[in-house]
Structure 1
């Protein structure tokens, strides 16, 4: 952070922190009527609103588990296929989820 010098492991964490200093919020014209959270794109608001309800329109054809977002279903399907497309450039370990790879990189 340019104001207080605190460090963060992700850019999103820095953005959230900078708001504590009163820095201007980004332009987010789509606001959730239930919680007030703002979004830049209407599709992001649509996905967010599913969090407030129980709607899970994307169902795994192999096990029947439901998901709120199509990308989450795509990630889940890797548990059935064994696909591990995210590889560490330092040690070669591979992961089904990008988030797991990012977490793994912190050990190097």
Structure 2
């Protein structure tokens, strides 16, 4: 039985998801961080946030020792150790799991941009980057933040935005230069 939001008409398959969604309309954020006072829609967002204060990275790679705050990040990292990459770039030596990945990579060296925007004629190296660009013309924003319902043209922009809610700081100082401290 579907559960429908009376405010915006969104449909949810479970009443618990509807209850959580209703908080986006009411502004209710019942889960509060005792460390900094930031409030969250639900306890799972609060748990993720708490690792920022503790610095806790309980998920460690047994292969190289690198540690992560969340299991899904470790899971993604583990693939870097187990995946065979037989396709090597002659220009720089970088290896790839699939020939198609190597083909896309080679475009960096050759400057080839085979995908053209039908609206403005701009060229792109990948069809996905062209698709993302076309959204600037069409206004399509298919990626939505579950915290505040803001929408984005790309999943990477959404991922970056979500860090605002968790107050995660993806860059750390390294000899005066910021370096990335996260994996997509």
- Fold shared by both chains (TM-score > 0.5): yes
Counterpart position of 1:38 = 95
The structure that is strand-richer by fraction is 2
The structure-2 alpha-carbon separation of the partners of 1:89 and 1:52, relative to structure 1 and needing over 3 Å to count, comes to same
The answer to whether 1:79 aligns with 2:136 is: yes
1:81 and 1:31, CA in 2 relative to 1: closer, same or farther beyond 3 A? same
Q: Does 2:73 align with 1:11?
A: yes
Distance 2:122 2:155 in 1: 21
CA distance in 2 between counterparts of 1:42 and 1:27 reads 12
> What's 2:108 paired with?
51
Where structure 2 has 5 or more consecutive residues not aligned to the other structure, the ranges are 1-59, 166-184
For structure 1, the residue ranges without an aligned partner over 5 or more in a row are: none
Give the structure-1-normalised TM-score: 0.80
Q: 1:64 aligns with which of 121, 125, 129?
A: 121
Count of aligned residue pairs for this structure pair: 101
Larger CA Rg, structure 1 vs 2: 2
Alpha carbons of 1:97 and 1:8: their partners in 2 closer, same or farther (altered >3 Å)? same
Equivalent of 2:149 in 85, 92, 107:
92
Aligned-residue CA RMSD (Å)? 2.4
